[in-house]
Amino acid sequence: MKSKGKSKFSNKNQIFTSDYFEYDFSDKSGFIENIYGVIDLETFSEDIDLIQKADSNSKSSITEAELEGLETGSNIVGLSFNLIKNDNPSYLNFKNLNTSNNRIQKWRFKSKNIKINNSLISSKKIIFTNDVINPPKLKLVANNIFSEKKKNKIFFISKWAKLVLDDNVSLPLGRRKISEKKDNLSKLRIGIDNEEKDGLFISRTSDPLKIKNLDFRFVPELYLQRILNNETYSYRKKGDSITSPTTKKPITLADYFGTRILVEGSVASYKLNSINSFNSIDFKKINESIRSSISLSKKLKNKTLKNLELKYFASYREKIDTGYHDIHEIYNGYGINLKN
């Protein structure tokens, strides 16, 4: 079967249009060119048997203008910036507008060519967005993407994906899975930190990496405002003491990026917790870019004091909120804490 011209494909929650459509029912394979539409991941597995319903002359066919009208409809889930309930009030994150469980179900998408093989698809490049703004400010670009079916559910895997913000800044995400489950975009955050990161930045929390009894989480960061200004006020002059004020300095490529490394777990009978941050990956600035804290704690058995806890701790350039004397920085510290 071949269909040339504006073709429409719709059933329940899956809608798209294309310029050219070709499908062979005998071997269940084909391809679609210049496709654009809306996909609902939550019901995609149930709605996927749509090839036999393709129709280019239906009275209910959806025009490109009507598809664009869907962008602002109540069924399209978008992204907005909301304050995170976090110790740091400067953090912002992406959060669903219309759902309460951070699930991003509906996406707009487009691709120059999608191949079909036994109801599964593959493509060199598909662009997804759930941004209600047109043109979208936030896009997920999935390269070398293919679908797989497991337990009667279909999900998409991209060998290399990146997040594009306003067509100017891209954040590499690596290999990504897109499914109806809680979406990875909920791990993305936008924050403002003028002191450490020169303003606006974007970060993404990785899935935990478990090594024996320890869980590692890596949070790569991209400093958008620092890049746009091509300068930084986060570091001191070469040779100045750690207590000296910061000054304006030019930046290098290594200053575009930073990271946080979070470690939780157990060592022997102790609970370990460690927070490490780097506001540059330039090793020449390591003494100024790193902040680190680590603690080992355990509950002590005591008949009288039932909540007795012993803690060993160490820190380097850790910021402490004293409550009554604002925030102070511990340049180097270690000690023992016993509390009930």
Mean pLDDT of 10-14: 72
Tally of residues, the chain: 340
Which is more confidently placed, 54 or 13? 13
Q: What does the alpha-carbon distance between residue 52 and residue 49 come to, in Å, rounded to a whole number?
A: 7
- 179 Cβ neighbours under 8 A, 6+ residues apart: 41, 153, 155, 156
Question: Which SS3 state, helix, strand or coil, does residue 283 take?
Answer: helix
Q: Is the dihedral of CA 142, 147, 150, 155 positive or negative?
A: positive
Q: What is the pLDDT of residue 44?
A: 64
Mean pLDDT of 67-86: 34
Identity of residue 216? F
Q: Is the pLDDT of residue 236 over 50?
A: yes
H or E element in which residue 225 lies: helix 224-229
Q: What is the pLDDT of residue 324?
A: 65
Mean pLDDT of 74-82: 31
Domain residues of the chain, as ranges? 1-83+104-185, 194-340
Q: Are 308 and 340 in contact (CB under 8 A)?
A: yes
pLDDT tens across 159-216, in order? 888 878 777 777 777 777 766 544 444 466 777 888 899 988 888 888 788 998 999 9
Identity of residue 91? Y
Q: What is the pLDDT of residue 132?
A: 65
Nearest to 66 by CA among 8, 129, 105: 8
